[in-house]
A = this chain, B = another copy of it.
Amino acid sequence: MRKKKLIAAVLMGLVVAGAVFAQDEWTIENALDMVWLFLGAALVFIMQVGFALVETGLTRAKNATNIVMKNLMDFCFGAVVYWAIGWGLMYGADALGGLVGTSDFFKNIMDDPGYYRDWFFQVVFAATAATIVSGAMAERTRFKSYLLYTCFISAFIYPISGHWVWGGGWLSELGFHDFAGSTVVHSVGGWAALMGALVLGPRVGKYVKCADGKVSVRAFPGHSMPLAMTGVFLLWFGWYGFNGASTLSGSSPDIARVCVTTTLAAASGTIGALFTSWVWFKKPDASMSMNGALAGLVSITAPCGVVSPAASIVIGLVGGILVVLSVEFIDKVLKIDDPVGASSVHLTCGIWGTLAVGIWGNVEGVAVGALHGGGAAQLGVQALGVVSVGAWAAITSLVLFLIIKATVGLRVNQKEELQGLDITEHKADAYAGFQIFSNT
């Protein structure tokens, strides 16, 4: 979809509707697209504070300043490097047969509203991929090392696989469909989150070997459920821009379908996680329910434009169940310490949502979903995208974190971790004046 538009603009050098305009050709349709993408991007921007609040609320008070600082900084550093480098790798002139973009670095012209508009809409997606990781690496990562990581994912990791799908690269040529980024954004962020948590190792006291040789798994409860829930609602709100404005056109009637499927999948994802936790843990768990809402949203992100309301309810529901299973699996079986469940929400459900296109999808009037009589071809392409983008994101982020660990160091020392990163990294309490129990 996006790909075709960009290929047309780049390869043929034509002034194409939706890509590059001289100002006097700025029609009312162009104007509506501009307003639509601007407001959609602003909605996606608000997801930054949604992530900040979910991650802060679900972790401990002694690290609250550190987390919100990381969330602020990944947007700020990400925006500058995505302007300088990332945009060119993702949407520059294609090279190496669909592997990478190679032009438009440090793009600095005064009159190209099409470029400006598209850059603004894309930078907030890049920042979303980057910020997913901060939750998984919470409570033990050195601040300056996090800044290094975030520059690399926004400048190189995210844009290159993004080029494959949205920049006219090889996966788009094969017909891979990812409407708003279950794979392009969420799985990439989710893989980096999982690799980051793996390389960092668990928080002090998380997995304790008992006398009988068994490992006891400790839960660290979050310090503010109201802030976490506020974050969930703000993420959901912002997701309407994330999915809705991914039509890239304010004149597309598909906007209407996207908002319905997004709403229903988020709702059913919440319900799925609520009941799964209720049956399994004998309580309607708050943090699982919140992750269920996000799970439904991640799951519907790829298929939101190409499935029916009933299918969206099923996709969300499965996502909500999957996220609980995944959190338990990563925590109890893999014993990787992801404090907020970011890898389960964004990676597990990102994969699920991408595959769902191949199960229920109806792309531009053609039933491609396996359960819609479309055969297995689309499902195969979707799986190929999941595996190839996943391999790219997992390997590059693993190497990145290993290099950072071996050079400047990735983790604070144990004393700093126990004291809390707010004091040791930023020399400021998050909640001056409040009596807060030492919570190891």
The residues of A with any CB-CB pair to B shorter than 8 Å are: 1-10, 12-19, 21-23, 25-36, 38-39, 41-43, 45-46, 48-49, 52-53, 56, 60-62, 64-65, 68-69, 71-73, 75-80, 83, 106-110, 113-117, 119-120, 123, 143-144, 221-227, 229-230, 232-234, 236-237, 240-241, 244, 247-257, 259-260, 263-264, 266-268, 270-271, 274, 281, 283-287, 289-290, 293, 308-310, 313, 362, 364-365, 422, 425-437, 439
Contacts and interface: CB of A to CB of B under 8 A. Distances in A.
- Total copies of this chain within the assembly: 3
Contact of A362 (B76, B110, B260, B313): B110
Contacts of A60: 432-433
B249 A19 contact: yes
Contact of A114 (B28, B29, B144, B256): B256
Contact of A35 (B30, B35, B114, B264): B35
Nearest to A310: B108
B38 A18 contact: no
A310 to B, nearest CB: 4
7 contacts: A1-B252, A18-B251, A49-B234, A52-B229, A68-B225, A113-B254, A113-B256
Given A18-B251, A48-B233, A108-B308, A4 B8 contact: no
Nearest to A57: B226
A284 B426 contact: yes
A119 to B, nearest CB: 6
Given A49-B237, A107-B309, 4 more contacts: A9-B17, A49-B233, A68-B286, A224-B430
Contacts of A253: 1, 21, 23, 26, 30-31, 34, 113
A159 to B, nearest CB: 17
Given A16-B9, A255-B34, A72 B225 contact: no
Given A46-B233, A65-B286, A83-B309, A8 B5 contact: no
Given A14-B13, A107-B309, A1 B2 contact: yes
